[in-house]
Amino acid sequence: MKLTEAKQQFISSWGAFGSQWGINRTMAQIHALLMVSPDPLTQEDVMEQLNVSRGNVNMNMRDLISWGLVDRVLIPGERKEYFSAEKDTWKIATQIIQERKKRELDPMLKLLGQLEKIEGDKKDKNVKQFVDTVSGIRKFGNQAEKMLDMMVKADENWFLSGLMKLFK
Amino acid sequence: MKLTEAKQQFISSWGAFGSQWGINRTMAQIHALLMVSPDPLTQEDVMEQLNVSRGNVNMNMRDLISWGLVDRVLIPGERKEYFSAEKDTWKIATQIIQERKKRELDPMLKLLGQLEKIEGDKKDKNVKQFVDTVSGIRKFGNQAEKMLDMMVKADENWFLSGLMKLFK
DNA sequence: CTGAACTTTCAAAATATATTGAAAGATTAA
DNA sequence: TTAATCTTTCAATATATTTTGAAAGTTCAG
């Protein structure tokens, strides 16, 4: 397989993969394109390579930046803006974990904590099942949160070798 | 807060949470409803409580069953089918991990493995960046896969206390 | 068998999400 | 300044996903 074809496949699959995880296809594709591009690209470059509109690129690029996955890059002497993606997989992963945790997991755990304090007869099986379910999810979520924090703080090597050896 | 209101909130938030992760809202809501219901429910019950159509409940219930999160339950002497959700958070989580891994991660890792075998001059920075990116993601994915397998095999207690102590 | 009770299917409709592109807004070289 | 270049916005449009509900399918008691 040639580079051009492989790139296409990678970009298209990364887009499809992303949609299954609630990331919009174009955003994932832009990310994929930037990850395999050795040099920074302009909005124009991305528009051409992915066949999407200026506005679309602009909005999704902004999102990618807010996720900390893409940086604006100034090239001395150039008027236009360039964009470049973080290429280190470990950093990408921890960045995504951190953001999703902050944006989604934390608020959910907060809500569950409130729902647990429901008033009602603990003898009522409806009340009991509700409290048990909610607190079960909350406990699990809290542990997951701790584990993710740990991952984010740790370094890649810990993940690649250290953790694994403990449970071979 | 009263049970009824708390249930509503839980169901609605679980639905919203699900959509951010690529799960359709109704499916997540049905799941939430069944998780907090002490006894099995019929399609009719779900239709009424969530205000969705028969077909919708039927299709999503089928999906939930294929994910291993809901079981059909036969009640002796009853003509209709009842549905009941697994209530153990740990089992729910490992079930979801296992399924998503099988449906999404495995195929993606397979593809990345192929893309890595691209033909081309390794001196070309385009080729190099492509191979580096793809193999970086693949390696990370492989480790993640191992770790998830471990989680699925382990038991809840290991997660709740054991793992955590190692990295306090 | 027969038909009542229940389940499944799926084309059409509704809804939600993503994309476009032209106009307005910035920025800067000259 | 001015005007060329580049970026951002957002209402309109297009696309994708979800939902509906009536019809077809299934099951089983009598």
When pLDDT is averaged across residues B45-71 and rounded to a whole number, the result is 98
Give the end of a domain, one of A54, A85, A116: A85
Q: Report in angstroms the alpha-carbon separations of B10 from A110, A157, B82.
A: 12, 39, 22
Q: What is the number of structural domains in chain B?
A: 2
Closest CA to B45 of B36, B96, A133, B86: B36
Q: Which of A50-59, A110-119, A149-158, B17-26 has the lowest mean pLDDT?
A: A149-158
Angle between helices A125-153 and A89-100 (to 10 degrees): 150
When pLDDT is averaged across residues A4-26 and rounded to a whole number, the result is 97
When pLDDT is averaged across residues B57-61 and rounded to a whole number, the result is 98
pLDDT at B166 over 90: no
Q: Using DSSP bridges, classify how beta strands B82-85 and B70-73 pair: parallel, antiparallel or unpaired.
A: antiparallel
pLDDT tens digits, one per residue of A86-130? 999 999 999 999 999 999 999 999 999 999 999 999 999 999 999
When pLDDT is averaged across residues B52-64 and rounded to a whole number, the result is 98
pLDDT tens digits, one per residue of A34-66? 999 999 999 999 999 999 999 999 999 999 999
Give the end of a domain, one of A59, A85, A111: A85
Question: Are A115 and A138 in the same domain?
Answer: yes
pLDDT at A7 over 60: yes
Interface subset of A 110-129, CB within 8 angstroms of B: 111-112, 114-115, 117-120, 124-129
Question: Are B77 and B102 in the same domain?
Answer: no
Rounded Cα distance, B161 and A143, in Å = 9
Question: Are B94 and B69 in the same domain?
Answer: no
Domain of A94 in residue numbering reads as 89-166
pLDDT at B162 over 90: no
pLDDT at B136 over 90: yes
Provide Rg for chain B, Cα atoms.
Answer: 21
Task: Indicate which of B1, B2, B3, B95 best probes the interface with A, i.e. most A CBs within 10 Å of its own CB.
Answer: B3
Rounded Cα distance, B11 and B95, in Å = 20
pLDDT at A164 over 90: no
Interface subset of A 44-83, CB within 8 angstroms of B: none
A83 membership: H or E segment, kind and range: strand A82-85
> What pLDDT score was predicted for residue A160?
74
Tokens 């409803």, located at residue? B33
In B 39-58, which Cβ lie closer than 7 Å to strand C? 42-44, 54-55, 58
Instruction: Give me the DSSP letters along chain B.
Output: --HHHHHHHHHHHHHHHHHHTT--HHHHHHHHHHHH-SS-B-HHHHHHHHT--HHHHHHHHHHHHHTTSEEEE--TT-SS-EEEE---HHHHHHHHHHHHIIIIIHHHHHHHHHHHT--S-TTSHHHHHHHHHHHHHHHHHHHHHHHHHHHHHS-HHIIIIIHHHHT-
Question: Are A134 and A75 in the same domain?
Answer: no
Indicate yes or no: CB of A160 within 8 angstroms of CB of B143.
yes
Q: What is the DSSP letter of A100?
A: H
What is the residue-averaged pLDDT of chain A?
Answer: 94
> What pLDDT score was predicted for residue B163?
64
When pLDDT is averaged across residues A19-35 and rounded to a whole number, the result is 97
> What pLDDT score was predicted for residue A40?
97
Rounded Cα distance, B140 and B148, in Å = 12
Q: Is B22 left (phi over 0), alpha (psi -120 to 50) or beta?
A: left
pLDDT above 70 coverage of chain B, percent: 96
Domain CATH code at residue B38: 1.10.10.10
Among all protein residues, pick the one whose CA is nearest to the C1' atom of D19: B56
pLDDT at A8 over 60: yes
Give the end of a domain, one of A44, A62, A85: A85
When pLDDT is averaged across residues B73-91 and rounded to a whole number, the result is 95
pLDDT at B49 over 80: yes
Question: Are A39 and A104 in the same domain?
Answer: no
